[in-house]
A and B are shown apart, each in its own frame.
Chain A
């Protein structure tokens, strides 16, 4: 079976090569690619769907494995290799299917910022993994094919700057003396520059040979994020079967990354007066923190207002109530006139009533953890990531957690599993999330998810009894390996069994179906604009 596939794929490669006559007959010269040329051949819809699902599986594997093992470790390699082998995109047939499946998912994942972010991250991890698997020779060839003619600096210059290289890379001079360094315009090595991992002088970054991949990643990320933005703007010509398949794929994608709470209908009638109480019973720690800072300072800085304001929108606070809520506090330090001028505009903005009228999405955990790190005077961010351990311990104790519970949570924090830590706090307060399964850890993807779980539990009697017994909004993962201590985000999504299970099996979940309808609508609206 597998063998058959390979043969048809080879045939197809030939076919596609003939189609692009005149441009470059060798478009898949290297088995790793930057996806600069979209496929031009015709494929059946079944194939289209299958390819999408296969690539999703791989990307999802990239994500799960990345959570369980630290990137670059032996475990990571073995596991990911195994996962890729299990998919139908395995190495031997990679080139063409790789190309086509990548471009199909571009269509599916260009629709919202959250989707794009997820897709880019996984594609980049996959690219890094595959590039690093290649031999030195093959990597050099890759650079050549893609016209990336970086040249190493000569020994004379290397000697001159050796101390600076040592201080920048944080390694002893002896260890880098014989490593080749490439002088690259700093604009092409942004990741390395940003984290101050290389020496930067007169506009050039001095990049050690092993970090060249980081430059490729920057390039790849740039191209990809640009193309996704462009694809998003181009509307699809005619609705029909093709469109259905694409939206189907989009709905798949949502299933894999969770809801974005963008146009969530109100859970109940939440009003400004209820927030004080709700913040104590049902808000995740990050929002509690913002709420109490807001109440005591009568003010929140921009980052805090965005994170908190959009969250409140997500729990179902109407625009009118939101303005009432913010105004009542702000006007303790300023007159109503000033508030109307300076702040009500931005609140209307969150609700898509001003400016470009974009309906802003409440921030997900990943966004809160990875972007816009809080600075002096800021109370936003993820308390699990952005707190000193002592301060966090105190806060946890303030939640009524016992010493033992606090220790458990802190253990996850120490390992960099902030979202697991948050879910554990939830469990210690509200009871288990995993529905009786032992030896699994759960995590939240979204502060609004935390709220909804909590609200549902505390208001069971009031919520419409037609709703089936709480569909599990929380995904379950095996416990993260204890030895891993890294700063990376733990975006835990799935357990490993799910990875190999056919994606369609979750499609009957009524909760997901709703979600799909809602999205479909927004997509069509977009198109109409």
Chain B
């Protein structure tokens, strides 16, 4: 995805990072998030962070006593990448001095990782690490579908969505229940949310019964309202014979496949062809082809339903790239975004580190002219909107434990 201001040069990263970590990384909010109100007190200091340095040198089991310590370390080391891990029984820094069996990961946010490469078989515009505005809607559908399920089905409230800096998105579910989930609990949720299943030997990866689970029903509704824009207009998914053969192969009945294929040749575009396919499936299911009656929904799900990397979600111990890292290849910052406004989020507009530092230079030049303000530096760059999203998230989180603290102190006082 190329944008007008994209002039980031990966070679300059090591020169830019010190300034970024000094002036722009939002340590305060970041600490307020991961400290979780200091309940228990060791929650932050027992958290594992890991750093990736230049040339892929990887250091695990870093930990910090408090915000100052974290700031100092990060600014000293200037890591290319920071990963956030679990909260352990002891300080991860000291892990070598502790019996390996006693050093155990206890809690972590429930996380999800969605990567565009996993959609390579159903997007026609790009492949691998590339993304463009034609396939990005896949990510925004994924956000809508998962966000709804996490809130409505599981009752989670504190969900942070973050752009991964290149080709995917991350989700951090931070409710207490989520952080305390066992591996089995994480697996159960991840599998509950997995609909597209099957490896390279299976063509049909979605199988629906007569009754469709409410969670999938809701997902189908979301896909439905985006399907014309995404699949028909942007992807032109029935645009030529090769494309529609692939789509039709998902219909269980081969008779129907053949019949529809003949008809599609005669139609001019994806829109009319998709109408025809749906019509055919509806008619044929009425005349007894019960195995194909959900085929149109199955096609929609296989093409659009979020594809999770479940292994990331399953382990309490799994590391995930921290928000506000800079992606070394693209230079873009891993910024949080608002899930209710995901259609307006565009990865092309996410600022790069070089762009941010440029902006900062300009603002500072103005300051020297006499006007000086006590605003945080990052609020004066194009990162401000993302920081705002993050701040709202942290504030809401703080309210939840404030309520809890008051509740508990009330219990103790008993006036």
Contact = CB atoms under 8 A, between A and B. Distances in A.
A341 B53 CA distance: 13
Interface in A159-190: 164, 166-171, 186-187, 190
B201 A200 contact: no
A387 interface: yes
B118 to A, nearest CB: 5
Contact of B213 (A167, A221, A372, A386): A167
A380 B191 CA distance: 18
Contacts of A196: 192, 213, 215-216
Contacts of A221: 184
B202 A391 contact: yes
Nearest to A190: B188
28 contacts: A166-B211, A168-B211, A171-B211, A187-B185, A191-B188, A193-B188, A193-B192, A194-B188, A196-B213, A200-B215, A201-B153, A202-B152, A293-B200, A372-B311, A373-B197, A374-B199, A374-B200, A374-B201, A376-B120, A376-B196, A376-B200, A377-B117, A377-B199, A378-B199, A381-B199, A388-B202, A388-B203, A388-B204
B155 A202 contact: yes
A505 interface: no
Contact of A187 (B181, B205, B209, B310): B181
A379 B205 CA distance: 15
A131 B217 CA distance: 34
A462 interface: no
A342 interface: yes
Interface residues of A, number: 48
A380 B199 contact: yes
B214 interface: yes
Contact of A377 (B152, B191, B200, B202): B200
Nearest to A371: B187
A391 B201 contact: yes
B307 A375 contact: yes
B185 A190 contact: yes
B350 to A, nearest CB: 26
Among the interface residues B192, B205, B213, which one has the most CB atoms of the partner chain A within 10 A?
B213
A388 B201 contact: yes
B183 to A, nearest CB: 10
A177 to B, nearest CB: 15
A377 B120 contact: yes
Nearest to A170: B211
Contact of B184 (A190, A199, A202, A356): A190
Given A200-B192, A383-B201, 19 more contacts: A169-B211, A186-B188, A190-B187, A200-B153, A202-B154, A203-B154, A222-B184, A303-B311, A341-B56, A356-B100, A374-B198, A374-B200, A375-B198, A375-B199, A376-B196, A377-B118, A380-B199, A386-B198, A386-B199
B241 to A, nearest CB: 21
Interface in B202-236: 202-205, 209-217
Interface string A102-128: 000000000000000000000000000
Interface string A395-423: 00000000000000000000000000000
Contacts of A233: 101
A115 B235 CA distance: 50
Contacts of B310: 375
Closest CB pairs A-B (n = 9): A374-B199, A203-B155, A387-B201, A194-B188, A190-B188, A202-B155, A378-B199, A170-B211, A200-B153
Contact of B192 (A170, A171, A194, A375): A194
A341 B54 CA distance: 12
Contacts of A379: 199-201
A523 interface: no
A518 to B, nearest CB: 24
B202 A387 contact: yes
Given A170-B209, A200-B153, A201-B152, A193 B202 contact: no
Interface string A361-378: 000000000001111111
B177 interface: yes
B121 interface: yes
Contact of B121 (A186, A194, A199, A376): A376
Contact of B182 (A222, A341, A372): A222
A85 interface: no
Contact of A186 (B55, B118, B120, B154): B154
Contacts of B55: 341
A203 B156 CA distance: 8
Contact of A168 (B154, B181, B197, B214): B214
A392 interface: yes
B189 interface: yes
A427 B217 CA distance: 46
Given A170-B209, A200-B192, A386 B185 contact: no
A302 interface: yes
B202 A187 contact: no
Interface in B169-187: 177, 181-182, 184-185, 187
A387 B216 CA distance: 24
A202 B407 CA distance: 22
A201 B197 CA distance: 24
Contacts of A391: 201-203
Nearest to B182: A222
Nearest to A375: B199
A135 to B, nearest CB: 30
Among the interface residues A187, A342, A381, A386, which one has the most CB atoms of the partner chain B within 10 A?
A187
Nearest to A204: B155
B154 A200 contact: yes
Contacts of A194: 187-188, 191-192
A271 to B, nearest CB: 29
Interface in A61-105: none
B210 A170 contact: yes
Interface string A186-226: 11001101111001111110000000000000100110000
B200 A378 contact: yes
A386 B118 contact: no
A201 B218 CA distance: 13
B213 A168 contact: yes
Nearest to B155: A203
Nearest to A293: B200
